[in-house]
A and B are shown apart, each in its own frame.
Chain A
Amino acid sequence: MRERLFTLSTFAPETAAALPGPPWLRHRRTVAAEAFASTPLPTEKDEVWRYSRIDSLDLDRYQTPVSPDLTATDAHGPPPSDRIRALVDGLGPRSGLIVTVNGVLATVASDVGDDALAIGRMTEHDEAEVLLGSIATDPTDFVLLNDAFAADPVVIDVHAGVTIEHPVVVVHVITGAGGDAVFPRTVIRGGPSSVASVVEIVVDVEGGLLAELPTRGASSVANHAEHLVVPVTEVQVADGAELNYVSIQSLGPATWQLAHQVSTIGADAGLHSFAVALGGSYARLRTDSALIGTSGTSKLRAAFIGRDDQMLDFRTLQDHRAPKTTSDLLFMGAVADRSHSVYSGLIRVRRGAVRSDAMQTNHNLVLDEGAHADSVPNLDIQENDVRCSHASTVGPVSEDQRYYLESRGVEPEVAERLIVAGFFADIADQVPIAGTRAMIGQALADRTGVHGV
Chain B
Amino acid sequence: MSTGELKIEDLHAGIPGREILRGVTLTVRSGEVHAVMGPNGSGKSTLAHVLMGRPGYEILSGTVTLDGIDLLSLPTWQRARAGLFLGMQHPIEVPGVSLVTALTASRPEIEPGEVGADAGAGDVSERMRSEAKRIGFDERFLTRSLNVDLSGGERKRNETLQMGVLRPRFAVLDEIDSGLDVDALAAVGRRVEEATEEWGLGVLAITHFRRLLKVLKPDVVHVLSAGRVVATGESELAEIVDRTGYAAYTGVGP
User: How far does the Cβ of B81 sit from chain A's closest Cβ, in whole Å?
Assistant: 5
Q: Report chain A residues within 8 Å CB of B55.
A: 399, 403
> What 0/1 readout, one digit per residue, does chain A (418-445) give for beta carbons within 8 Å of chain B?
1101111110000000000000000000
Contact check, B97 vs A407: say whether CB atoms are below 8 A apart.
Answer: no
Given contacts A418-B97, A425-B95, A408 and B162 within 8 Å (CB-CB) = yes
Q: For the complex, is B248 an interface residue (Cβ under 8 Å from A)?
A: no
Q: For the complex, is B180 an interface residue (Cβ under 8 Å from A)?
A: no
Q: For the complex, is A415 an interface residue (Cβ under 8 Å from B)?
A: yes
Contact check, A415 vs B77: say whether CB atoms are below 8 A apart.
Answer: yes
Q: For the complex, is B65 an interface residue (Cβ under 8 Å from A)?
A: no
Contact partner of A407 (CB less than 8 A), chosen from B52, B93, B96, B103, is: B52
Q: Report chain B residues within 8 Å CB of A411.
A: 77, 105
- CA of A414 to CA of B101, assembled, Å: 11
- CA of A411 to CA of B78, assembled, Å: 8
Given contacts A403-B54, A415-B77, A408 and B106 within 8 Å (CB-CB) = yes
Q: Which of B84-92, B218-226, B236-244 contacts A (4 or more CB under 8 A)?
A: B84-92
- CA of A406 to CA of B78, assembled, Å: 8
Contact partner of A426 (CB less than 8 A), chosen from B52, B88, B96, B162, is: B96
**Could you tell me which residues of chain B, from 140 to 179, have a CB within 8 Å of some CB in chain A?**
145-146, 162, 166
**Could you tell me which residues of chain A, from 319 to 371, have a CB within 8 Å of some CB in chain B?**
none
Given contacts A403-B54, A408-B106, A410-B105, A422 and B97 within 8 Å (CB-CB) = yes
Given contacts A399-B55, A412-B75, A422-B145, A406 and B80 within 8 Å (CB-CB) = yes
Identify the interface centre among A408, A414, A425: most chain B CB within 10 Å of its CB. Answer: A408
Contact check, B96 vs A409: say whether CB atoms are below 8 A apart.
Answer: no
Q: Report chain B residues within 8 Å CB of A408.
A: 80, 102-103, 106, 162, 166
User: How far does the Cβ of A415 sit from chain B's closest Cβ, in whole Å?
Assistant: 7
Contact check, A419 vs B105: say whether CB atoms are below 8 A apart.
Answer: no
Identify the interface centre among A399, A400, A404: most chain B CB within 10 Å of its CB. Answer: A404
- CA of A415 to CA of B108, assembled, Å: 13
User: How far does the Cβ of A426 sit from chain B's closest Cβ, in whole Å?
Assistant: 6
Task: Identify the closest chain B residue to A423 (Cβ).
Answer: B96
- CA of A426 to CA of B93, assembled, Å: 15
**Could you tell me which residues of chain A, from 242 to 293, have a CB within 8 Å of some CB in chain B?**
none
User: How far does the Cβ of B240 sit from chain A's closest Cβ, in whole Å?
Assistant: 33
Q: For the complex, is A401 an interface residue (Cβ under 8 Å from B)?
A: yes
Q: For the complex, is A54 an interface residue (Cβ under 8 Å from B)?
A: no
Contact partner of A405 (CB less than 8 A), chosen from B54, B97, B107, B145, is: B97
Given contacts A403-B55, A406-B77, A409-B77, A423 and B95 within 8 Å (CB-CB) = yes
Q: Report chain B residues within 8 Å CB of A415.
A: 77, 105
Given contacts A411-B77, A422-B94, A422-B95, A404 and B106 within 8 Å (CB-CB) = no
Q: Report chain B residues within 8 Å CB of A407.
A: 52-54, 76-77, 79-80, 85-86, 88
Q: Report chain B residues within 8 Å CB of A421.
A: 96-97
Q: Report chain B residues within 8 Å CB of A406.
A: 75-77, 80
- CA of A411 to CA of B102, assembled, Å: 11
- CA of A423 to CA of B92, assembled, Å: 15
**Could you tell me which residues of chain B, from 80 to 131, have a CB within 8 Å of some CB in chain A?**
80-81, 85-86, 88, 91-97, 101-103, 105-107
Given contacts A403-B76, A404-B146, A418 and B105 within 8 Å (CB-CB) = yes
Given contacts A403-B54, A408-B166, A422 and B105 within 8 Å (CB-CB) = no
Q: Report chain A residues within 8 Å CB of B54.
A: 403, 407
Task: Identify the closest chain B residue to A414 (Cβ).
Answer: B105
User: How far does the Cβ of A418 sit from chain B's closest Cβ, in whole Å?
Assistant: 5
Task: Identify the closest chain B residue to A425 (Cβ).
Answer: B96
Q: Report chain B residues within 8 Å CB of A426.
A: 95-96
Q: Report chain A residues within 8 Å CB of B85.
A: 407
Identify the interface centre among B93, B106, B107: most chain A CB within 10 Å of its CB. Answer: B106
- CA of A406 to CA of B84, assembled, Å: 11
Identify the interface centre among A399, A409, A411, A412: most chain B CB within 10 Å of its CB. Answer: A409
User: How far does the Cβ of A423 sit from chain B's closest Cβ, in whole Å?
Assistant: 6
Contact check, B77 vs A412: say whether CB atoms are below 8 A apart.
Answer: yes
Contact check, A419 vs B76: say whether CB atoms are below 8 A apart.
Answer: no
Task: Identify the closest chain A residue to B82 (Cβ).
Answer: A409
User: How far does the Cβ of A39 sit from chain B's closest Cβ, in whole Å?
Assistant: 45
- CA of A401 to CA of B55, assembled, Å: 11
- CA of A426 to CA of B92, assembled, Å: 18
User: How far does the Cβ of A396 sit from chain B's closest Cβ, in whole Å?
Assistant: 12
User: How far does the Cβ of B210 sit from chain A's closest Cβ, in whole Å?
Assistant: 27
Contact check, B95 vs A409: say whether CB atoms are below 8 A apart.
Answer: no
Contact check, B96 vs A410: say whether CB atoms are below 8 A apart.
Answer: no
- CA of A403 to CA of B88, assembled, Å: 11
* In the A-B complex, the 7 residue pairs with the closest CB atoms: A422-B96, A425-B96, A409-B80, A409-B106, A404-B92, A422-B97, A406-B76
Tell me the B residues contacting A by CB distance below 8 Å.
Answer: 52-55, 75-77, 79-81, 85-86, 88, 91-97, 101-103, 105-107, 145-146, 162, 166
Tell me the A residues contacting B by CB distance below 8 Å.
Answer: 399-401, 403-412, 414-415, 418-419, 421-426
13 contacts between A and B (CB under 8 A): A399-B55, A401-B92, A404-B94, A408-B80, A408-B102, A409-B80, A409-B107, A410-B77, A410-B105, A422-B95, A422-B145, A423-B95, A425-B145
Extra contacts besides A403-B92, A414-B105 (9): CB < 8 Å? A401-B93, A401-B97, A406-B77, A409-B77, A409-B80, A409-B81, A421-B96, A422-B96, A424-B96
